[in-house]
Amino acid sequence: MQTIILDTTVHKQRQVVLLKFPYNDQLISLVRKIPTATWSNTHRAWCVNFVPEISGTIKDTFSGQAEIDETLFLSKNNDVKNALHCRHYVAASIKNNEIREASLQQFEKFKWWLQSKRYSESTIRTYLDAIRTFFKYYSTLSVQEINNDHIIDFNNNYILSNNLSASFQNQVVNAIKLFYKVVENKNIEIDLIHRPKRARVLPNVLSKEEVKEILQVHKNTKHRMMLSLIYSCGLRCNELLSLKPLDIDSKRNLIIIKQAKGKKDRIVPLSPKILEMLRNYYVAFKPTNFLFEGQKEGTKYDSRSLQMVLKHALNKVNCTKPVTLHWLRHSYATHLLEAGTDLRYIQELLGHSRSTTTEIYTHVSTKNIQNITSPFDTL
């Protein structure tokens, strides 16, 4: 049985617990079930937000699958150690690790409903994790006893007290609203459940010169091909890795993106340069199942490995910006807009359901802004 070493550190101005273990698909699938779990390239480990009950959550998650080594975790932080062994947690802690039987039945009903509506696996997992956390926090109450005030209390004394993100809070609110539509609790007024006010964050965009440097620095054909395809077609990471050879329509110069985010199919144009690169790549690697396969034939290329491909490219060109794969997609959309492409077409190419999502790129396009003359220049 593998051992997971727990450690603690401060990451992005928040205290986190690090989970360190050799690469293992089964353990990775389990760690993804923990709310707030993210992979940290900086620490080369999975990290989750520290809350007093996190040790118990981790042990429950990996029960029977891995040994948990808490030596570093306990020795480095006395506050953490005291919190873990304290019998009476603060109000922000989950009051009981068990879900009431009646609540568990409603939980299963909600799960079946999500599955019958064909929600994606990731959405089902996210919603169930949020509802599970909410039920554990109110383990002394039945589903029918919970009202809107309890939800406000949960937001203030669990989410905000533990410095959890607005994005996570929004996911929890979405899950709770949908859950109570299904179970029909008369004490909950769904329309009064408020979402957090979200910060308006502009997408990060690279210049064409920066993109060119990043795409051309790799000598490895597969690595260059993957990064180039993301930028040239504005693909999400998972969309790229899910591509199959038959999704490339070379006669019409198109790529068919199947069952992407929101379970939507779409098509994107394929540039002649990319098509020629794809032909050379196909001859060299002869993929069978997925267009980009991992070390084992027929398996999907790992997303973390693709992130490392980008990181190595950034190191080679001495780029100090915290570039992610999604920056290439943002850059694709912005460069299209600056080239005069209609916003409606960009929306279709990116697979956005709402035009307001695509309109964010008008705020980072510099084509018109650069033509503005500062009054300082006329003094």
148: Cβ contacts below 8 Å, ≥ 6 apart:
187, 188, 189, 192, 193
Residue 177 bears catalytic tag: no
Catalytic residue among 261, 266, 300, 311: 261
In sequence order, the β-bridge partners of residue 3 are 67
3-state secondary structure the chain: CEEEEEEEEEECCEEEEEEECCCCHHHHHHHCCCCCCEEECCCCEEEEECCCCHHHHHHHHCCCCEEEECHHHHHHCHHHHHHHHCCCCCCCCCCCCCCCHHHHHHHHHHHHHHHHCCCCHHHHHHHHHHHHHHHHHCCCCCHHHCCHHHHHHHHHHHHHCCCCCHHHHHHHHHHHHHHHHHHCCCCCCHHHCCCCCCCCCCCCCCCHHHHHHHHHCCCCHHHHHHHHHHHHHCCCHHHHHCCCHHHEECCCCEEEECCCCCCCCEEEECCHHHHHHHHHHHHHHCCCCCCCECCCCCCECCHHHHHHHHHHHHHHCCCCCCCCHHHHHHHHHHHHHHCCCCHHHHHHHHCCCCHHHHHHHHHCCCCCHHHCCCHHHHC
In sequence order, the β-bridge partners of residue 6 are 19
Antiparallel, parallel or unpaired: β 14-20 and 45-49: antiparallel
Tokens 């794969």 belong to which residue? 325
User: At 107, which amino acid appears?
Assistant: F
Catalytic residue among 326, 344, 363, 367: 326
Residue 236 bears catalytic tag: yes
Catalytic residue among 132, 136, 223, 352: 352
Catalytic residue among 236, 244, 300, 311: 236
Residue 158 bears catalytic tag: no
Residue 329 bears catalytic tag: yes
Catalytic residue among 136, 218, 224, 329: 329
User: What span, in angstroms and rounded, lies between the C-alpha atoms of 137 and 290?
Assistant: 42
Catalytic sites, residue numbers? 236, 261, 326, 329, 352, 361
